[in-house]
């Protein structure tokens, strides 16, 4: 299913940060299909501008640059920042300071909808034996997860104080296909990622909503019932990959923290 199949809405100008990253490259052409102009930003190489694109590379820690980045856009898909676990000093500039700059830019320029790429690592220290919902307490599994928890709190504050709506997407594992048994629960196909982002952009009322980003996987630790108002309906599943994955990875050590906690390998990274 394409963007055209999921919504009839069309935006004049959307902003995509982190456009040169793994998921940014996936979403870049898909978002362009539903807007007149797509403004893309990153500190990595963005290549050449396609028709209807504006290239505006800006480090997220550059406040003046980010404020200008938000001028004249209808909505933001904020993927930018460090996307894996690192030392706090490496996480701070883009993920924490930079996300604050994005929200300040939205406030100053009157942007009223942000789709924030949060992460399942906000809740990584919940156990794989649990089923949790967006209403359960956060339990970050590292500095990366902490930065995304900060972003969710920032989104709540900017809704309460300034009326800027956000859908925080706790993205699971978005790859062409799941590669291990953990991903049988966390996998999010690229097509479902598109469906999720478009639903988050187009839902009539979201205030600050949190939703787990996953496909329709039979094995799941996450219950998105409190987020049904967003209108996301996944259509892909990890089920077709299960037999091959289990044949490759037959044994799981139940005493290994990687197998105990939802965050997988992130719960054992560091110290730095």
Burial of 45 (0-12, 13-18, 19+ CB in 10 A): exposed
Tokens 């500190």 correspond to what residue? 43
Question: Any idea what the Cα angle at residue 131 is, between residues 128 and 135, rounded to 5°?
Answer: 125
Q: Which residue in the list 144, 158, 232, 261 is annotated as catalytic?
A: 144
Count of Cβ atoms closer than 10 Å to residue 173 Cβ: 20
Dihedrals φ, ψ of 220, to 5°? Answer: -155, 145
**Helix/strand/coil percent split, the chain, to 5:** 40, 15, 40
Is 144 part of the annotated catalytic residue set?
Answer: yes
Q: Which residues are catalytic?
A: 144
């Amino acid at each position: 299913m394409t963007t055209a199949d999921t919504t009839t809405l069309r935006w004049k100008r959307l902003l995509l940060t982190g456009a040169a990253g793994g998921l940014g490259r996936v979403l870049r052409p898909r978002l362009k299909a539903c807007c007149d102009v797509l403004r893309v930003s990153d500190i990595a190489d963005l290549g050449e501008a396609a028709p209807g694109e504006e290239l505006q590379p800006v480090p997220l820690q550059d406040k003046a640059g980010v404020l200008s980045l938000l001028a004249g856009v209808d909505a933001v898909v904020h993927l930018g920042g460090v996307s894996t676990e690192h030392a706090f000093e490496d996480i701070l500039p883009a993920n924490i300071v930079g996300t604050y700059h994005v929200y300040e830019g939205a406030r100053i320029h009157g942007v009223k909808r942000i789709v924030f790429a949060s992460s399942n690592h906000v809740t990584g220290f919940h156990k794989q034996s649990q089923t949790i919902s967006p209403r359960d307490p956060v339990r970050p599994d590292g500095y990366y997860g902490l930065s995304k928890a900060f972003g969710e709190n920032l989104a709540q504050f900017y809704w309460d104080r300034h009326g800027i709506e956000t859908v925080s997407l706790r993205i699971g594992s978005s790859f062409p296909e799941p590669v291990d048994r953990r991903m049988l629960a966390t996998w999010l196909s690229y097509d479902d990622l598109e469906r999720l982002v478009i639903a988050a952009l187009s839902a009539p009322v979201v205030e600050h909503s949190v939703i787990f980003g996953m496909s329709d996987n039979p094995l799941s630790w996450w219950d998105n019932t409190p987020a049904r108002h967003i209108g996301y309906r996944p259509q892909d599943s990890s089920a077709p990959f299960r037999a091959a994955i289990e044949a490759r990875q037959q044994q799981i050590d139940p005493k290994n923290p990687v197998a105990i906690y939802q965050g997988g390998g992130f719960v054992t990274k560091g110290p730095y």
